[in-house]
Amino acid sequence: MLNSIGLQNPGVEYFMEYDLPWLRTQDVAVIVNACGSTIEDYVELCKILNKADIDGVELNLSCPNVKAGCLAFGTTYEGVKEVTSKVREVLDKPLIVKLTPNVTDITLTAKAAEDAGADAVSLINTLLAMSININTRKPYLANNTGGLSGPAIRPIAVRMVYQVSKAVNIPVLGMGGIINGDDAVEFMLAGASAVSIGAGNFIDPYTSVNTVKGIEEYMKKHNIENINDIVGKVEMN
Ligand SMILES: Cc1cc2nc3c(=O)[nH]c(=O)nc-3n(C[C@H](O)[C@H](O)[C@H](O)COP(=O)(O)O)c2cc1C
C-alpha cells in the first residue's frame, strides 16, 4: 500500500474526550501514537498525555521538523536524541520511539532513542516511495511521494528488527507487512518482543485476530509454552 493520507486528526483534546472513554471499555492497553512539526509540539502533546488515562506513548519521528528544513526528526542520531530526551523530561509513562527506515543505518537512531531514555523502540514506519501512471506521466499520489507498507516491505523490516535488536538493550516492537501468524513469528525470531499490524487491516479487518490464532497454532505445532522463548532465536547461517 502506498499512502499519503497525512496525520490529520481532530487533536488530543477531542481524542481524550470522545475516543479514549470508548477505548477504555475494551480489555486492551491503550498506546497513543504522537506526532508534531516542532520539538515544542511533541513536548506540549506529551505533557497533556502524561495526565491522560493511557498506558504509554509511541513517538512517531517520521514527521518533518519544520524548524530543520522539514527533514524528518527520526533521520539523525541528534534529531532522535533531542526530541526523545525533551519528551522524556515531561512523560512518566512508558515511552516507545518509532523509527523511520529511511536512513542508512537504523541502529544509530535506535541507539539515540535508548540513550535518551526510551523504554522501547518500534520499527519500521513506511518506506518513502513513488509510483507513476505511465499514461498521464503523473505520479499516482497528489503528494507525488508517499509511504510504502504491507507485505512488500516485510523482508526489509525483518532485517532492521534483527539489526536493532542486536544493537540495543531495550525491547523492540516489530512491524512491516505482517498479515498472519507466520509473519509475526518471523519478526519475533528476528528479535521483536511484540508486533503490530497496519496495512494488513485494510486487506481484512480480522487480520490481528487471525494473527493471534496463527501464533497459537505455531506454538502448538512446535511445543512452545511461552512465546517469549522464541524472541531473537533466529539461527544465523
Ligand atoms: C494508512 C496508514 C496510516 C498510517 N499512519 C501512521 C501514523 O499515524 N503514525 C505512525 O507512526 N505510523 C503510521 N503508519 C505506519 C504503520 O503504523 C506501520 O509502521 C507501517 O505501515 C508498516 O507496517 P504495515 O506494513 O503493517 O502497515 C501508517 C500506515 C498506513 C498504511
* In the chain, domain spans: 2-230
Averaged pLDDT, 41-68: 94
The question of whether 63 is a catalytic residue gets the answer: yes
Contact 99, 58 (CB under 8 A): no
pLDDT of residue 64: 83
Q: Which pTM was predicted?
A: 0.96
Residue 11 region, left (φ>0) first, then alpha (ψ -120 to 50), else beta?
Answer: left
Is domain 2-230 annotated with CATH 3.20.20.70?
Answer: yes
Instruction: Look at residue 39 and tell me whether its pLDDT is greater than 80.
Output: yes
Looking at 56-119, which runs of residues are DSSP E strands?
Answer: 56-60, 64-65, 71-72, 95-98
127 lines ligand 1 (CB under 6 A): no
Q: Give 56's strand partners.
A: 31
98 lines ligand 1 (CB under 6 A): yes
